[in-house]
Chains A and B, each alone.
Chain A
Amino acid sequence: MPDKFPAWSVEQRILSRVGAGGDFLQSLLKQLERFAWPERDRFGIRLAVEEALSNAIRHGNALDDDKEVGIRCRVTQDKFWIEITDQGAGFDVTELPDPTAPENLTKPSGRGVLLIQNFMTQAYYSEKGNCLVMEKQRSSADGH
């Protein structure tokens, strides 16, 4: 079935300041509503993007005013795709401690990547670890 609306694509750079991705997120949420994405999908996408931008700004660019976060995003009726790139040194995602391990359960941070991986259909980091690509396929009517 052809999309009712043309795909929404955006490419922008944001400052490395807390909350700098707010305008982008509002635009994205509007588009997801326009394409009538299910509420649960919109919740998951919002959560994943919030967590990813926060990680890029805080951990990647370390809130450095001289660094920016690049965003490329595309939304259609069936697929959400985003690439978030920071200008930090990167990291090895396989080295992250498991936040669900008993010894880490009471730590107040370190859950963002786990949530991203669970709410997205796919999420992968570049080899350097400063670029994250996330994809989500629209859920079917029964929520799967």
Chain B
Amino acid sequence: MATQRHVEVSEVGDVTVVRFLDRKILDEANIQELGQELFDLVEQDRRMKIVLNFSVVEFLSSAALGKLITLDRKQKAQNGLLKLSNIRPEIYEVFAITKLNKLFSILDDEADALAAF
């Protein structure tokens, strides 16, 4: 299991599970760093199946959504798959309002996300 500054990365079979470490994905500098850590998983490590587990995340801003969208684009460009899980209701509402629940594959929990590949 590898821990970067903002995420913890582990392997379950051929799936990379990424757990956020920050309760609030908010601060501009942190979002930049977080984005780079996520992009590295795709661009450097070529992880083809990724689950982002949001269980500890209580708050995120639209700037954080922007990083997730860019990550999704990069992952699709390499024909990889990205799934999101454990999103609490308030944050899911942000995805629903912005219709990003249509763009992302969002599952209730990590087990469902792993089974969905």
Contact check, A54 vs B63: say whether CB atoms are below 8 A apart: yes
Contact check, A115 vs B99: say whether CB atoms are below 8 A apart: no
Which chain A residue shows the least CB distance to B60?
A47
Q: How far is the CB of B48 from chain A (nearest CB, A)?
A: 20
Report how many A-B pairs have Cβ atoms within 8 Å. 50
Pairs A–B under 8 Å by Cβ, sample size 27: A19-B27, A19-B28, A40-B90, A43-B90, A47-B59, A47-B94, A50-B26, A51-B62, A54-B61, A99-B98, A100-B99, A105-B100, A105-B102, A105-B103, A106-B69, A106-B103, A108-B69, A108-B70, A109-B62, A109-B63, A111-B62, A111-B98, A112-B62, A114-B97, A114-B98, A115-B62, A115-B98
Taking Cβ atoms with an 8 Å cutoff, the residues of B that contact A are: 26-29, 59, 61-63, 65-67, 69-70, 72-73, 90, 94, 97-100, 102-103
For the residues of A in contact with B, the DSSP-based class is: helix
Contact check, A115 vs B69: say whether CB atoms are below 8 A apart: no
Q: Is A36 an interface residue (CB 8 A)?
A: no
Taking Cβ atoms with an 8 Å cutoff, the residues of A that contact B are: 18-19, 39-40, 43-44, 46-47, 50-51, 54, 99-100, 105-109, 111-112, 114-115, 118
For the residues of B in contact with A, the DSSP-based class is: helix
The interface residues of chain B lying within 8 Å CB-to-CB of A39 are: 90
A18-B28, A108-B70, A114-B98 are contacts. A43–B61 as well, Cβ < 8 Å?
no
Which chain A residue shows the least CB distance to B65?
A111
Which chain B residue shows the least CB distance to A108?
B66
The interface residues of chain A lying within 8 Å CB-to-CB of B99 are: 100, 105
